Amino acid sequence: MPVLGKTILVTAADIEERKKTPIEVKWRQGLADVAETYIQTTFICIGRLDTLAEGGKTGAESKGAIYIQLNKLEGLRSKKVAEQPDFTIVLDKDFQYGQKSKDGTGRWFVFHDKQHKPFRHRFLAATMQATLGQLASTSPNCWVHQW
């Protein structure tokens, strides 16, 4: 993993807020249907990642998505660097990643049970479905049509 040992920051307030609207990711693994609940939030790079995050920026302005398996949140808490703000975390072998393009732009991370093997597009599809569902539920006239 090219970003092994790099440091990211995830704010505790954002995690708490995102726990209110988790997303469900579903996939087929072997002969079984699997579903898991995740929190999708944003990480901020501390220092420079070897590859680029969202928008092609590096350094302090570099951000991207991180998906945290809801029942692994305590495991993420245990990775918090002592004496640092919020969830300052050093990326290790427990994190998996995906990216939008071959050049490393749009990198995102997943912290979950590594026995799970969902394809990366499952996270993106689940995020889009959850976002559309939230938009529909917050806009009472979204689906009201007058003829």
Tokens 């990711």, residue? 25
* 99 domain-assigned: yes
Mean pLDDT of 122-139: 51
Cα–Cα nearest to 43, from 84, 20, 14, 4: 14
Q: Residue 143 — pLDDT band, cuts 50, 70, 90?
A: very low
Please count the structural domains in the chain: 1
Residue 141 lies in a domain: no
Bridge partners for 65 per DSSP? 42
Alpha-carbon dihedral 134, 15, 77, 58, rounded to 10 degrees = 110
Residue 15 lies in a domain: yes
Model pTM greater than 0.75? no
Question: Is 2 inside any structural domain?
Answer: no
Instruction: With respect to residue 84, please indicate whether it lies within any of the assigned structural domains.
Output: yes
Least confident residue range of 16-25, 35-44, 64-73, 117-126 = 117-126
Q: What pLDDT digit, counting tens, does each position of 47-88 carry? A: 655 444 444 454 445 788 899 999 999 999 999 998 888 899
Two tokens at 130? 């959850």
79 found inside a domain: yes
Q: Is 147 domain-assigned? A: no
Q: Please report which helix (H) or strand (E) contains residue 111, including its range.
A: strand 108-111
**Domain containing residue 50:** 7-135
Chain center to CA of 35: 16
Domain assignment of residue 70, yes or no? yes
